[in-house]
């Protein structure tokens, strides 16, 4: 069941899905949504950076991903750390500087 739709992203009972009909499908389960990894000596949410690098082709995709991530955390009642998310956004910005996002 789809609970929310933001751009090409969907929040379901299972997690976050990329739903662009012409592209590959991406999925992050609710169980792994908040998994952390170390980048540049900081803990970040790895799923956000992974999806940024794999699925985001436009600025709207990126904004929709961040909104969807926050809605999924709330929908699935996950324990969220704001400082880790801020570090994740910082790494996300570094990642997209090397990409050309379509307006």
pLDDT digits (tens, 9 = 90+) for 30-78: 999 999 999 989 999 999 988 888 878 888 888 999 999 999 999 999 9
Domain ranges (residues) in the chain: 2-97
Question: Model-level pTM?
Answer: 0.86
> Which residue's structure tokens are 């969907």?
10
Burial 37-72 (b: 16+ CB within 10 A, else e): eebeeeebbbbbbbbbeebbeeeebbebbbebbebb
The tokens of 2 are what? 């789809």
């Amino acid at each position: 069941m789809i609970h929310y739709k933001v751009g090409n992203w969907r929040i379901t009972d299972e997690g976050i899905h990329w739903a662009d009909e012409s592209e590959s499908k991406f999925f992050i389960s609710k169980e792994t949504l908040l998994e952390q990894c170390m980048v540049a000596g900081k803990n970040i949410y790895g799923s956000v950076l992974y999806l940024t690098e794999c699925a985001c082709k436009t600025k709207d995709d990126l904004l929709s991903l961040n909104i969807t991530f926050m809605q999924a955390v709330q929908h699935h009642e996950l324990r969220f750390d704001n400082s880790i998310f801020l570090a994740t956004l910082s790494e996300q910005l570094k990642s997209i500087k090397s990409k050309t996002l379509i307006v």
